[in-house]
A and B are shown apart, each in its own frame.
Chain A
């Protein structure tokens, strides 16, 4: 559906986007993730024809941004970063203005659908500047979907909202994502994790990861960590390693009330929890807790964007 080829964008001497290549399939919900200033917005601005690439090209279906900007804009619904709105207009006037430019034949009917969709009942006649941030965001979304676009691009759609509003907007996005090709950019991982099929992580203008959430996790973490809380003698712990050979002991830390915190690590391909438990049963140890430390995508993200970001 959308194809980015060797995309480059320079701002003066600063290279904001550096040789990006990826493809977005029809119906896919893509999370475009990266720290602030990584080049997310710049890339989205090029797809939406606000900026022109310094080099490379973007194809949307069989159109490209260099030659078919007008046609591409018709296919895309776009919510820019910070959700700019004509705040002095009423919601009705604003959506009408957009609908007229989008040449929507039956505006009344479509407006009804969009109001229903975005939960804008009761605010249609109000000036946008009097609305809360959550409602403004809904108006921005309504603007983006009013022409029922095939492609929806949302640049940080939940930034600056409170947790309730975030949940509402997120539900709305999931709803919209069922029928559209959707790109959402964010610097907040959970947001993308909750909504997207696929995640592309960008850092310093380069793509550092691309795949489903599960793929990303498994690619970047091949060890499972197990945290045990035991009552046992500290010098007896290494006995465990003899019986369960594939385990590596990372640390043993005494805690209050004679408890020990033991951290073990083993290869992600095998599940050794059972073996470890079986062994503990044979001893006089008391097992209080056993936790598998799941590698969160958060770690992957931080790994990719902090440690590799030495430039």
Chain B
């Protein structure tokens, strides 16, 4: 049996039993709503492109905030010892935390569907394919950031430090796309491939290319794997 589901359920229940998840979700939704609706009538376009532009930026704060405690708090309170002496694999622990983070991110995204409703009411000729791709991209992006957040959280027993580390990694991945002009042209292609914005904008344009999917999935696998290694280092310290 795989126990990651049990851990995910426990974490999700923990999120919604405490006020923190609600505060973070409300902040996430308010920020998105503000930046989405204020230019909506100026642009006069019945699409969610502004939303797909703003969510990745809000993610930079939102995702570190929801992942910062996932492992750091266990280390801080000592419950990590409880968890890791139960008959659980380290990978099950990390995956459980990961699914919980995805669950909360998906909940946040679910509420943004309200904006879709707005444009359905207001506009015509809505490109649903593009919207579905956009949401897929947001979910994948959230998963990448979530795995980074879990990795950062696994490095420390201090939630704030966890937040700062994941904020920095995510921020660097995000701004990479804006620094390309500084690079010698021979390197641009390489760094463009590394930058998360490049792959994300491809998906939100409505094109699902395996190269982009491979990029996202390999980042997720990389950071989850690093988290497992980080969790295992306790044994050898």
Which of chain A's residues has its CB closest to B77's CB?
A84
Beta-carbon contact of B82 and A84 below 8 Å: yes
- Chain A residue numbers with a CB within 8 Å of B88 are 101
Nearest chain B CB to A78 CB, angstrom units: 5
Beta-carbon contact of A101 and B6 below 8 Å: yes
Beta-carbon contact of A97 and B6 below 8 Å: yes
Beta-carbon contact of A51 and B235 below 8 Å: yes
Nearest chain B CB to A49 CB, angstrom units: 6
Q: Which of B3, B80, B81, B87 contacts A73 (CB 8 A)?
A: B87
Beta-carbon contact of A85 and B84 below 8 Å: no
- Chain A residue numbers with a CB within 8 Å of B235 are 50-52
Which of chain A's residues has its CB closest to B82's CB?
A84
The CA-CA distance from A56 to B207 in the complex, in Å, is 57
- Chain A residue numbers with a CB within 8 Å of B89 are 70
A223 at the interface (CB under 8 A from B): no
- Chain B residue numbers with a CB within 8 Å of A87 are 77
Nearest chain A CB to B181 CB, angstrom units: 46
- Interface segment among B11-19, B26-34, B162-170, B182-190: the answer is B11-19
A74 at the interface (CB under 8 A from B): yes
Q: Which of A80, A89, A97 contacts B81 (CB 8 A)?
A: A80
Q: Which of A81, A85, A102 contacts B87 (CB 8 A)?
A: A102
Beta-carbon contact of B6 and A76 below 8 Å: no
B41 at the interface (CB under 8 A from A): no
Nearest chain A CB to B8 CB, angstrom units: 12
Once A82-B78, A86-B79, A101-B6 are accepted as A-B contacts, the answer to whether A49 and B85 lie under 8 Å apart by CB is yes
The CA-CA distance from A102 to B237 in the complex, in Å, is 27
- Chain A residue numbers with a CB within 8 Å of B77 are 84, 87
A267 at the interface (CB under 8 A from B): no
Nearest chain A CB to B178 CB, angstrom units: 41
Beta-carbon contact of B236 and A101 below 8 Å: no
The CA-CA distance from A86 to B84 in the complex, in Å, is 14
Once A50-B84, A78-B85, A84-B78 are accepted as A-B contacts, the answer to whether A100 and B6 lie under 8 Å apart by CB is yes
Q: Which A residues contact B (CB, under 8 angstroms)?
A: 11, 45, 48-52, 70-71, 73-74, 76, 78, 80-82, 84-89, 93, 97-98, 100-103, 143
Q: Which B residues contact A (CB, under 8 angstroms)?
A: 1, 3, 6, 10, 13-14, 17-18, 77-82, 84-89, 234-237
Query: 5 smallest A-B Cβ distances: which pairs?
Result: A84-B78, A52-B235, A73-B87, A84-B79, A48-B85
Q: Could you show 23 A-B contacts with beta carbons less than 8 Å apart?
A: A49-B84, A50-B234, A51-B235, A52-B235, A70-B89, A74-B87, A76-B85, A81-B78, A84-B78, A84-B79, A84-B81, A86-B10, A86-B14, A86-B79, A87-B77, A88-B17, A89-B10, A89-B14, A93-B13, A97-B6, A97-B10, A98-B86, A100-B3
